[in-house]
Amino acid sequence: MRHKEILDTQKEYVISMRREFHKNPEISWNEFRTSKRIKEELDAIGIPWIACAKTGLVATLEGEKPGSVVALRADIDALPVTEQNDVPYKSINKGVMHACGHDGHAAMLLGAARALKSIRGELAGTVKFLFQPAEEKAGGAKLMIEDGALEGVDAIMGIHLWNDIPAGKMNIQAGPRMASGDVVFIDFIGKGGHGSLPNQTVDPIVVASSFIMNSQAMLSREKSPLETVVFTLGEFKAGTRFNVIPEKAHMEGTFRCFSQEARKRTGEAIKRYAEETARSFRAQAKVSIVEAMPATINDPAVAETVKTVAEKVVGSENLVWQEKTTGSEDMAYYLQKIPGAIAFVGSGSSEKGKSFPHHHPKFDINEEGLANGTALYFGFAVEYLEQNH
């Protein structure tokens, strides 16, 4: 019960830190004030830190006894959204808002750091706290890894506050949780000319349209019906005038997968459909795939440990099942390197339909969820180090 008491004393602290971060949001790679405040808090707690990934940092708490190394990760950046909430802790930075709950992530991790520091004598091993910048830009985790944040780390856990789950409940499952999200740029190069003489041209609008139609079969015919793949072309731009056939058609899109294998196969299929469709019209396709986020896949063993802790925090009756989502999360980069898991901690209103979705200008979290997230960070570090001693 001593742990519960220690955690209880963090509740007010976490809420006040969350509100401070909420009031002072900073967009990806600009989390200067945020990281400065985190450093100040860590100094006050007495946990050493080093700067990492420009505006991020890694704090290290060594237990009394040797053991494994476990990492807890919180992302700290905000979004370019203008807040429409009328709350005392409303954003004071115009056009920037914590509309995804990262304010809560940072605050919970600070609360967990305070609690873990106070039981340092019991810890066999090391806890690393990863305060990561620029999750929304998908570059933060990558740079953290490049800067050595995972060196010597055996396992990692991250939390996302989730408004689709009411506060008081949690979700933790093994396997794919969030999709990969790669970006596709395609230019179909035909031959321009007058709209009244199509025979003298190669019409890239017809080529591009055919590609879009043809590539639907990739989803309906090529992959297993049991497998989830999304392919969306969000932009199609071509032409300047009704009676001129343009030289090229430009499109941009994204594809989402839940395994590295599917990701590779889908990228190749998109290229094949684009290039062969273009060839069938005597046109040319220039396909460029910019790899963004991999799929977020929870390690079964780590997920099991998180689940054990989650049952202690909210009770097994409050663990909910949730379908994987086609959104992306850069936690995926860590999970590509070492075993780990991401948990979704409920921050939704208990009244149905009252919560606004993530990224909405009226997004807000139910702060009752913060204590559960703090306890989950704390409990996972303790449990993992005990299990892997």
Partner 1 sequence: MSIRELAKEYKPYAVKIRRDFHMHPEPSMKEIRTSDRIVEELESMGIECKKAAGTGVVGIVKGKGPGKTIALRADIDALDLQETNDVPYKSQNPGFMHGCGHDGHAAGLLTAAKILKEKADTFDGRVKLLFQPGEETAKGALKLIEEGELDDVDGIFGLHLWNDAPVGKVSIEAGPRMASAGIFNINVTGKGGHGSMPHQGVDAVLVGSAIVTNLQSLVSREISPLDPAVVTIGIFNAGTRFNVLAGEAYLEGTTRCFSMEVNDSFESQIQRVVEKTAESYRAEAVLDYNELVLPTINDPAMSAIGERAVEKIAGKDALITYEKTTGGEDFSFYLKKAPGAFAFVGTKNEEKIPLYPHHHPKFDIDEDAMEVAAALYAQYAVDFLNK
Q: How far is CA 338 from CA 81, 92, 148, 149, 292, in A?
A: 33, 38, 13, 12, 19
Q: How many amino acids of this chain bind partner 1 (CB under 8 A)?
A: 46
197 binds partner 1 (CB under 8 A): yes
Interface characters, 297-336, with partner 1 (x: CB under 8 A):
----------------------------xxxx--------
246 binds partner 1 (CB under 8 A): yes
Q: How far is the CB of 204 from partner 1 (least distance, A)?
A: 9
C-alpha to C-alpha distance for 370 and 101, rounded to whole angstroms: 10
244 binds partner 1 (CB under 8 A): yes
**Identity of residue 315:** G
For residue 199, give the DSSP letter.
Answer: G
- Segment near partner 1 (CB under 8 A), from 22-30, 65-73, 188-196, 311-319? 188-196
Q: How far is the CB of 278 from partner 1 (least distance, A)?
A: 14
Near partner 1 by CB under 8 A: residue from 73, 102, 256, 263: 256
Q: Please, what sign has the CA dihedral across residues 313, 317, 318, 323?
A: positive
- Segment near partner 1 (CB under 8 A), from 53-61, 108-116, 249-257, 301-309? 249-257
Choose between 34 and 254: whose C-beta lies nearer to partner 1.
Answer: 254
C-alpha to C-alpha distance for 215 and 221, rounded to whole angstroms: 10
Q: Are 380 and 306 in contact (CB under 8 A)?
A: yes
Q: How far is the CB of 386 from partner 1 (least distance, A)?
A: 38
Choose between 75 and 203: whose C-beta lies nearer to partner 1.
Answer: 203
Choose between 296 and 305: whose C-beta lies nearer to partner 1.
Answer: 296
Near partner 1 by CB under 8 A: residue from 174, 195, 308, 318: 195
Near partner 1 by CB under 8 A: residue from 94, 243, 321, 351: 243
Which pair of tokens denotes residue 61? 């708490």
Q: Please, what sign has the CA dihedral across residues 320, 137, 133, 333?
A: positive
C-alpha to C-alpha distance for 332 and 181, rounded to whole angstroms: 11
- Segment near partner 1 (CB under 8 A), from 31-39, 50-58, 162-170, 206-214? 206-214
Q: How far is the CB of 264 from partner 1 (least distance, A)?
A: 19
Choose between 195 and 361: whose C-beta lies nearer to partner 1.
Answer: 195
Residues 163-182 that bind partner 1 (CB under 8 A): 179, 181
Choose between 55 and 328: whose C-beta lies nearer to partner 1.
Answer: 328
241 binds partner 1 (CB under 8 A): yes
Q: Please, what sign has the CA dihedral across residues 341, 322, 18, 135?
A: positive
Near partner 1 by CB under 8 A: residue from 60, 209, 318, 387: 209
Q: How far is CA 84 from CA 30, 88, 362, in A?
A: 22, 12, 5
Near partner 1 by CB under 8 A: residue from 88, 220, 242, 353: 242
Q: Which helix (H) or strand (E) holds 183?
A: strand 181-189
Residues 210-239 that bind partner 1 (CB under 8 A): 210-213, 216, 230, 232-239
346 binds partner 1 (CB under 8 A): no
CA nearest 149: which of 165, 169, 131, 166?
131
Which pair of tokens denotes residue 39? 């450093």
Q: Which helix (H) or strand (E) holds 238?
A: strand 230-238
SS3 367: coil
CA atoms within 13 A on the CB side of 297: 14
Listing DSSP states for 114-142 in one string gives: HHHHHTGGG-EEEEEEEEE--TTTT-HHH
Near partner 1 by CB under 8 A: residue from 119, 206, 301, 320: 206
Which pair of tokens denotes residue 164? 């689709």
Binding-site ranges for partner 1 (CB under 8 A): 179, 181, 183-185, 194-198, 203, 205-206, 208-213, 216, 230, 232-246, 249, 251-254, 256, 325-328
